[in-house]
């Protein structure tokens, strides 16, 4: 260590082994220095080193620290409004906006390790949403194991100037009649495709770009984020209630990679994984007029269950 390092301290860089992040009620501590959102990219760079690369998106740009396993989203003013930590991404299927390595350093929420602080429940499907004060914590999950893939941190309340004066078209509304209680969420999505997009009986017809424009809790970049299911869109369809009286209109279900329902949940989805595979056919009991169904693919045992 040089005499200057001894006297003034060593500036931390992205190549150091020790790296720590702590989400607090007002922002985030990175290597013991506090930052509030939005975080000036220049300030973070001075503290931990330059990102390995930056990518431009239609709505957001991304600064990526490949070795550290995280990235930040920013606009032209280079203020990071969202931090994304890639916890458990398959190295064989890395996308351009994902860092080369997974994040393997210390990540805590108010000092508690994220593994214990984030409570994953059976009702969580592909994402979990929580908060530390004003700091939102969104965890993207693997479908079957519910293991955390990505953790996003951002400020819950966006600045007033960014709030939209939208029509509130996608505000949740409880139905008057009896709702269908689905066992399999992917079966529900297939039913929504038929009722909302094919027959136009379930309204409003969901449009992800309209939804993103109306959404006020954070900036949703549909094109940049859309190769994975967008958490807030999943939450919308999870809560969406379907009246039992619409069940009689379901005579067939046809799963196709180009279905509008999937293109609105994950607009850049390539259709090459099992994200939307149906795992149970218990929900068939709700649809007495259902005669035919076309599947993405299925376990042989599940297929036999369906046939029976």
The pair of structure tokens assigned to 255 is: 């799963």
Cα distances from 103 to residues 85, 96, 140, 144, 163, in angstroms, run 6, 16, 14, 21, 32
In angstroms, the CA 68 to CA 99 distance is 8
Give the pLDDT of residue 188: 96
- Token duo for residue 229: 């299911």
Dihedral Cα 52, 48, 127, 168, nearest 10 deg: -90
Model-wide pTM > 0.75? no
CA 180/CA 121 separation, integer angstroms: 22
Per-residue pLDDT in tens (0 to 9) along the chain, 308 residues = 443 333 333 344 444 457 999 999 999 999 999 999 999 999 999 999 999 999 987 778 999 999 999 999 998 889 999 999 999 887 666 678 899 999 999 999 999 999 999 999 877 877 888 899 999 999 988 877 889 999 999 998 544 444 454 567 888 888 888 999 999 999 999 999 999 999 999 999 999 999 998 888 888 888 778 778 898 999 999 999 999 999 999 999 999 888 999 999 998 787 767 888 888 888 999 999 999 988 887 667 767 777 77
Report pLDDT for 298.
Answer: 62
pLDDT at 17: 55
């Amino acid at each position: 260590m040089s005499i200057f390092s001894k006297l003034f301290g060593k500036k931390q860089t992205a190549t150091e082994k020790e790296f720590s992040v702590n989400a607090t009620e007002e922002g985030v501590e990175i290597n013991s220095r506090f930052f509030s959102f939005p975080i000036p990219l220049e300030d973070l760079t001075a503290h931990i080193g330059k990102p390995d690369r930056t990518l431009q998106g239609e709505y957001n740009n991304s600064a990526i620290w490949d070795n550290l396993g995280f990235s930040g989203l920013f606009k032209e003013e280079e203020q990071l409004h969202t931090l994304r930590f890639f916890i458990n991404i398959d190295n064989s299927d890395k996308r351009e906006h994902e860092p080369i390595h997974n994040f393997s350093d210390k990540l805590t929420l108010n000092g508690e390790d994220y593994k214990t602080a984030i409570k994953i429940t059976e009702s969580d499907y592909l994402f979990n949403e929580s908060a530390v004060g004003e700091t939102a914590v969104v965890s993207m999950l693997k479908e079957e194991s519910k293991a955390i893939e990505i953790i996003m941190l951002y400020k819950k309340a966006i600045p007033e100037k960014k709030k939209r004066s939208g029509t509130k078209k996608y505000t949740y509304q409880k139905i008057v009649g009896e709702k269908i209680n689905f066992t399999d969420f992917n079966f529900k999505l297939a039913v929504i495709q038929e009722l909302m997009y094919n027959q136009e009986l379930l309204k409003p017809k969901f449009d992800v770009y309209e939804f993103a424009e109306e959404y006020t809790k954070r900036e949703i970049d549909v094109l940049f984020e859309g190769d994975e299911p967008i958490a807030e869109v999943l939450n919308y369809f999870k809560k969406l209630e379907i009246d039992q009286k619409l069940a009689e209109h379901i005579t067939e279900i046809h799963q196709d990679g180009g279905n509008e329902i999937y293109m609105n949940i994950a607009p850049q989805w390539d259709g090459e994984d099992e994200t939307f595979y149906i795992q149970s056919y218990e929900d068939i009991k709700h649809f007495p007029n259902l005669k035919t169904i076309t599947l993405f693919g299925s376990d042989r045992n599940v297929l036999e269950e369906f046939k029976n």
